[in-house]
Amino acid sequence: MRRLAITFFYDGAGIVDEYMFYLVECLRPFVARNVFVSNGPISPDASERLKKLGAEILIRPNEGFDVWAYKAGIEKVGYDKLEDFD
CA dihedral 47, 9, 76, 27 (to 10 degrees): 80
Tens-place pLDDT, residues 55-84:
999 999 998 888 899 999 999 999 999 999
3-state secondary structure (DSSP) of residue 11? coil
Q: With contact defined as beta carbons under 8 Å apart, do 23 and 5 qualify?
A: no
pLDDT for position 57: 98
- Confidence band, pLDDT 50/70/90 cuts, at residue 33: very high
How far, CA to CA in Å, does 3 sit from each of 22, 29, 59? 18, 10, 22
